[in-house]
């Protein structure tokens, strides 16, 4: 258990890559397992050992550097709510999203930006959108690809005032 009884299940790293197909081949060989999800311009690995959720976002060579964003995957909406309360009390929330669709999954999440501009999300997956369809329709569909405001060329604070995470 961590602060505020929040159980962290995995670290999340999202990388910008120039070619998702080549990157998937590399990481499949590197980790020794197939990708969990592959879509046009996007793929992810959901590893147990190490406990890592690695997302690959095709963005062209060198666009914004290799780091897209960082995050913590938690077990439940209650754990996201605990993070939301902790971050809110500290004045650190830069974007708050509940029941949003991004990275080809329905999620509940909250974002904070560190002093150097690195975007961090705390999130749980509500529906993983296997085979391109959700088990249950989300309450609001915002995006299905990479959903960070950074991907749209906005800071998280700008996105907060412009309607949230919508990469379309």
Q: Give the span between the Cα atoms of 128 and 134, in whole angstroms.
A: 7
Mind listing the pLDDT tens digit for each residue in 12-33? 999 999 889 999 999 999 899 9
What are the residue ranges in the chain where pLDDT is below 50? 1-4, 140-146, 149, 151-168
Q: Give the span between the Cα atoms of 80 and 73, in whole angstroms.
A: 9
pLDDT at 101: 85
Q: Give the span between the Cα atoms of 92 and 113, in whole angstroms.
A: 7
- Is this structure's pTM higher than 0.85? no
> Which DSSP string corresponds to 85-122?
HHHHHTT-EEEEEEEEEETTEEEEEEEEE-TT--EEEE
H helices of 20-76, in order, are 20-31
Angle at 141 between CA 37 and CA 152, to 5 degrees: 75
Element (H, E) at 123: strand 119-127
Going by C-alpha positions, the residue among 121, 115, 116 that lies closest to residue 159 is: 121
Contact 155, 118 (CB under 8 A): no
Please report the domains of the chain, with CATH numbers, ordered by start residue: 1-162 (3.10.180.10)
pLDDT at 63: 54
Contact 110, 4 (CB under 8 A): no
Coil, helix or strand for 144? coil
Q: Give the span between the Cα atoms of 95 and 163, in whole angstroms.
A: 10
């Amino acid at each position: 258990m961590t602060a505020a009884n929040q159980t962290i299940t995995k670290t999340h790293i999202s990388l910008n890559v120039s070619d998702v197909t080549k990157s998937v081949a590399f990481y499949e060989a590197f980790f020794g397992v197939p990708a969990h999800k592959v879509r046009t311009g996007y793929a992810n690995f959901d590893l147990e050992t190490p406990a890592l959720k690695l997302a690959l976002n095709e963005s062209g060579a060198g666009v914004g550097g290799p780091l897209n964003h960082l995050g913590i995957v938690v077990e439940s909406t209650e754990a996201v709510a605990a993070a939301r309360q902790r971050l809110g009390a500290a004045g650190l929330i830069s974007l708050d999203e509940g029941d949003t669709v991004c990275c080809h999954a329905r999620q509940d999440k909250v974002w904070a930006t560190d002093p150097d501009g690195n975007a961090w999300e705390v999130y749980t997956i509500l529906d993983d959108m296997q085979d391109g369809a959700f088990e249950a329709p989300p309450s609001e569909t915002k995006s299905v690809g990479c959903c960070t405001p950074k991907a749209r060329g906005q800071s998280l604070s700008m996105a907060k005032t412009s309607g949230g995470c919508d990469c379309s």
